[in-house]
Every structure is written in structure tokens, then in C-alpha cells.
Structure 1
Amino acid sequence: MLDEIILQLKGKKSPKRRSATKKLRKLKNIDAGPFLLSALKEELKDLRTWETQYQMIMAIGECGYKPALEFLQSLAHQTFEATMVYVAIGDAIQRLSMQNEQDVTTIFEAIDTENDMLIDGAIRAMAMLKVVPVNLDIEKIINYVAAKNNNDGMHFWVLAAAPGWSGKKVDEYLAFCSTSKRDEIIDAVELARKQKYKKWFPL
């Protein structure tokens, strides 16, 4: 099964490679890591195939291939016209760099870059992994996002991570987001208040 998909990963057409990558992303098999990293390095040579690049980076993160971390960290400082690629980079770096189940160091490193898409990706991974950081880190994350308009899309993934969080700061943040005009933010606030995680399916 894995061998067949990896063969497809080496195909001549980007849509075929993207299809193979999506299958590997679902499998979450670390053995696919070296092949995905090699394929990504080739894919990055063509600016037009950013969707395939995005999926390859996501797959590397989801299969837990830590040897790719340094390369992905270098990509975070490169210029991509298709800014969605940064979301995948932020997501994958957060997954691969965690030293323990509460580690959100990557989120603060992303904040330092001032690249909103990179930050969004790291926060999204935190939400998908249902990370419950230490209270001080939760407060720092909330302080950062609460400075934004409550209709800002970044709130969504913070709220998606929040069902496992508690405390006065969290309650105040939920109240702040509850007056947003965006339905998905309101829905995420309600889930957080009920302490219910939802299974999200990001791109």
C-alpha cells in the first residue's frame, strides 16, 4: 500500500503527486517522511504547484517526521506568493517541535515573525492536537489574539483549542469573542463554553 502511494508521489503531474500526498497525510505513517521531504524539495522548484507543496508540508507534520524540522524552519523565512504555504509550515513546525504535550514554543516563535499565516498554522496545530498549554502560555496566547478585532479569523483556531482550557482569562476571552459577527467564531465559543472539542477537517 505505502509503496504504491510513494510511487505515485514521484509522478510527473502535480495533481497526481498531490493526490498521493493526501493519502499519505491520512495514513500518518512516519516511514513516508523521507519520501515526502524529498518530494517537497523538488515541488518547491515550481511556484505554480503551491497546493501540492501545502499538502506535502502538512503530510510531513502529520506523519511526525522530525528530521524535516530544520528544513521547514528555514522555509518559514522564505518568501511565498501563495501565503497558504505558511499556514502548513506553521502547522507542521508546531507538530514536529513539541518537546512535551504542553509545548507551544513554536507559537511564540511564529508571533515574533509577525507572519499571520505562520501564526495561524501553529495555532491550528495546537487546536487539532487538543493541546492544553500551561496557564502562563494560555494567557500569553490570549493576550496576543485579544488585541485583534473579534471578527479576525485567527480567533477561530484559538477557540477551537480552548475547550480544554479554564480560568478567568479564558472566560473573559470567550466573552470578548461572543460578540463577533462571524458565525464560525460564535459556534466555536459555544463549544469552548461546553468544553466540547469538535473534529475539524482543515484543508
Structure 2
Amino acid sequence: MNKLLCTTENRALNEIVAQLGDKKSPKRRSAAKKLRKLKDVDAGPHLLAALEAELKDVRTWETQYQMIMAIGECGYKPALPFINKLAKQDFEATMVYVAIGDAIVRLSIEKERDAAPIFKLLDTGNEMLIDGALRAMAMLKMVPSDSHIEKIINYVAARELNQGIHFWVVAAAPGWSGAKVEEYLDYCAKSPREEITSAVALARKNKYKKWSPL
């Protein structure tokens, strides 16, 4: 039975991987989305090869975004040097940077509390890379050390309450504790953005929500 299941799963994976080579970008994008959900590291080499080809056409940035996200969520670490190079390139569609930041964090962390990749991206000053990094932190339910949490909060607390950068930090906060965290949540509770105040309410209850980002 296990062998049959494994064969069926392999066949399904192969079919999706084959779709990465479709002539139509929406089909390739659909395949990347499916591979994001599967989170199968075996899809990594195929996704990386598909991404390298996809990057030749600036018009297909949405597909590029999904392929980068899939590489990150599949945990294909050999792609990290390539993704790091992409972070330094110019993209007209800045949403691509969000996927890059997300993937870099996922592929760089060595342990659950490892916030070092996040700080490297904070240092770039690229708001979209930073947004992706903070989003990965929230999606992975990371609980950095107290000193690292304080540094992250200090970085975003200087921003105005209507800025979206607060959202993913608050979304990551249900597993965090301490006076600094409570102070930051009190600050964000005054935000005019409903998604931020809703995330604050969850954080105060120590409840994570299953977010579904693009």
C-alpha cells in the first residue's frame, strides 16, 4: 500500500513539474502554486531551472514570484546563492522582492530561533525584501531570542501606524512575550488599519492564524 501511495505521489509531482515547462505563463504559474502547497524538496531543482528561464521575460513577474515562493516553501537550500543574487538585481515589479525576501529567510535559517537572515535583509533598506522577510518570520511562527525580538520591534516601531510593515511583525507575535512586546502591541492597537488591529487581538490571546499570502 505504501509503495502504491508513493508511486501515486511521484506521478502527481511529475505531472506538476512537467507543467512548469508549459508554453503559457498562467499554466506555469499554476504549477508553481501547486508546488508551494506540496512543499516537496524534490521539486526544487525543477523550480530553479524553470525560474532561470522565466526571468528572461519581465512581463511574467507574477509567475516569477510564485516560482521563488515555491522554492522557499519547498526548502530547496541549493537555490539560496541564486536567490541571494536576485536580491541585488533590479526588478520593475517590486512584488518579486517580497518573494525573494521570504525565500531567503526560509532557506537560510539553521534553527527555529535563527533571526540572523532577517537582520541581513533589514540592513538592505529594500522595503519589499524586508516585507518578505518579516512575512516568512510570521508564517514560520518564529520565536527569536528576546534581544532579537527587541531589535525587530525597535526597527518597525519607528514607522507610522498606517504602514503595512507592522502587520507581519504583529502576526508573528503570538509566540512572543515580555514588556517590549506588550508595549509594541499597545502601540499597534491604535493603528487605523483593521488587519493590524485584528492581528493585535490574536497576539494578545497567543493565537496564531493561518494566513494565506499571495
Fold equivalence (TM over 0.5): yes
Q: Which residues of structure 2 form unaligned runs of 5+? A: 1-11
Distance 2:118 2:75 in 1: 18
In structure 1, the partner of 2:69 is: 58
Tell me, yes or no, if structure 1 residue 89 matches structure 2 residue 97. no
Q: State how 1:1-203 maps to structure 2 within 5 Å.
A: 1-203=12-214
| Unmatched segments (≥5 aa) in structure 1 | none
Sequence identity percentage: 71
- Ranges of 4+ aligned residues in structure 1 off by more than 4 Å: none
Q: CA deviation at 1:187?
A: 0.3
SS of equivalent residue, structure 1 residue 185 = helix
Amino acid at match of 1:155: H
Q: Please, what TM-score do these two structures have when normalized by structure 1?
A: 0.99
The alpha carbon displacement at 1:163 in A equals 0.2
The separation in 2 between residues aligned to 1:172 and 1:117, in whole angstroms, is 26
TM-score, normalised to structure 2, is 0.94
Shift, 1:104, TM fit: 1.3
3-state SS in 2 of match to 1:113: coil
Letter in 2 for 1:61: G
Give the superposed CA RMSD: 0.5
The amino acid across from 1:139 in the alignment is E
CA offset digits 1:42-86 (Å, max 9, x no partner) = 000000000000000000000000000010001001000000000
Q: Give the counterpart letter for 1:174 in structure 2.
A: L
CA shift for structure 1 position 133: 0.2
Please tell me the residue identity of whatever aligns with 1:185.
I
| Structure with the greater alpha carbon radius of gyration | 2
Q: How far 1:150 moved relative to its partner? A: 1.2
User: How many residues in Structure 1 have an aligned counterpart in Structure 2?
Assistant: 203
Residue type matched to 1:30 in 2?
A: V
Q: Whole-Å Cα distance in 1 between the matches of residues 162 and 206 of structure 2?
A: 22
CA deviation after TM superposition for structure 1 residue 99, in Å: 1.0
Question: How far apart, in 1, do the equivalents of 2:104 and 2:174 lie?
Answer: 23
